[in-house]
Amino acid sequence: MSAAEGPLVVGVDSSTQSTKALVVDAATGRVVASGQAPHTVTTGAGRESDPRQWWEALCEALRQCGDAAHEAAAVAVGGQQHGLVTLDGRGEPVRPALLWNDVRSAPQARRLTEELGGAKVWAERTGLVPAASFTVTKWAWLAEHEPEAVRATRAVRLPHDYLTERLTGEGTTDRGDASGTGWWASGTESYDEGILAHVGLDPALLPRVVRPGEVAGTVRDGHGLPFSKGTLVAPGTGDNAAAALGLGLRPGMPVMSLGTSGTVYAVSRRRPTDPTGTVAGFADAHGDWLPLACTLNCTLAVDRVAALLGLDREAVEPGGTATLLPYLDGERTPDLPHASGLLHGLRHDTTAGQLLQAAYDGAVHALLGALDLVLDEDADPAAPLLLIGGGARGTAWQQTVRRLSGRPVQVPEARELVALGAAAQAAGLLTGEDPGAVARRWNTAAGPVLEAGERDRETLERISGVLSDAAPLLQRQHTVTG
């Protein structure tokens, strides 16, 4: 390892599938060491993970970083949003965490919306309309289906909170991740005691919300982690807010993230309140807002279609009349938690490559349909769409987004933007800078730009028509086995 120009910091990305750790030079943004370890997620009706796997993966990822991690002066954790982590009096998980893409709480989401005044009231109160992704609905599901687990719970955390608490011994969260729970009031930026009372959750079980730029704690002794005693721990945040920090986003810059989930978002000065529920009115990690729309089916769903067809993920072909809605895990945008994948327009001359392209088109259609709602009216419609996430490196994803959006598409060369955003947050503790300014100094958004082309409105309109016509079928509840 060559000598660093500034102090070293660690940024962590604990995602659905794995945990990554980067050791970064705070002066330059250069990654001097990295590590990664996987998690497992259940399949079938639910999507659950044992939080202890996240910790074990973090320990392994840091071990792979070697001596550089020991030299780090600060650390921050970015983590998958919305997951419900229930802990007993010893800080051990009561049961596996219910993850963001577990949609079993769809009935509780509908019920909570009705019981507390409807969608408009929820949007004004929390920035969100209850959906199966959000933590409040998962708590309501747990109370209904596993009351013994609720009775055993002495602390409720989000995934990034759990890891931060394992580091510091203190129960903390931040405004960005707290805003995705459904029990955080966006107008007052505090826990909503009325909602908590309604779902039977004692506020004393929740973590303290640490302010942007505040130190969450220091790394405690006794973990065997490669951190020096007294290493500072930043608040951390949810993965999308961390990626926004990692890009150094300014208001109005549109982002599309292609991962296990797909998201579109932008930083805004205005507090979002969308009563349709399409746009979640999240807070960002440094005082502004992060209106965001999310789909459950993105890269994994398209990869699954490719596997079923026996094709490489890049083996797409143009043309054809097929429409494929890849809603393999139910869907959040549009709000169809019981949907499954749907194929329409199959002909004798339809090729496997055209079917694969139709899967890409269906996934991107859902994201672009929400993008205009995410952006403020004064956002520049010609601004490049920043394309990030694992799928952003794929030519088929890039060209599909470019063709269906009609926008220029910029692909940042920096990888692991969630971990880089967490690292920028950690660096801000040391330098006193805004983490977004740190990331801009690191030039993390730099990358090639694909020029805008004519928008493929014909394909967009065909997909919209199939989606509208198939709505009754997609809304039908099916029994899931396995």
Whether the CA torsion 95, 101, 103, 109 is positive or negative: it is positive
Residues acting as catalytic residues: 239
Q: Could you please report the per-residue DSSP string of 89-122?
A: TTS-BSSPEEPTT--TTHHHHHHHHHHTT-HHHH
Contact, 101 vs 133, CB < 8 A? yes
Q: Look at phi and psi of residue 121 and say left if phi exceeds 0, alpha if psi is from -120 to 50, else beta.
A: alpha
Query: N- to C-terminal Cα distance for the chain?
Result: 48
- Quick one: how far is CA 193 from the chain centroid? 26
Distances in Å between the Cα of 34 and the Cα atoms of 286, 399, 430 are 26, 30, 21
Whether the CA torsion 187, 190, 194, 195 is positive or negative: it is positive
Of 349, 348, 347, 329, the closest CA to residue 338 belongs to: 329
- Record the tokens describing residue 133, joined without a space: 């992704």
Contact, 39 vs 17, CB < 8 A? yes
In whole angstroms, give the CA distance from residue 416 to residue 482. Answer: 33
Give the helix ranges, DSSP H, for 66-203: 67-71, 106-115, 119-126, 135-145, 147-152, 159-168, 175-178, 193-199
Backbone angles phi, psi at 270, to 5 degrees: -100, 140
Whether the CA torsion 363, 266, 177, 36 is positive or negative: it is positive
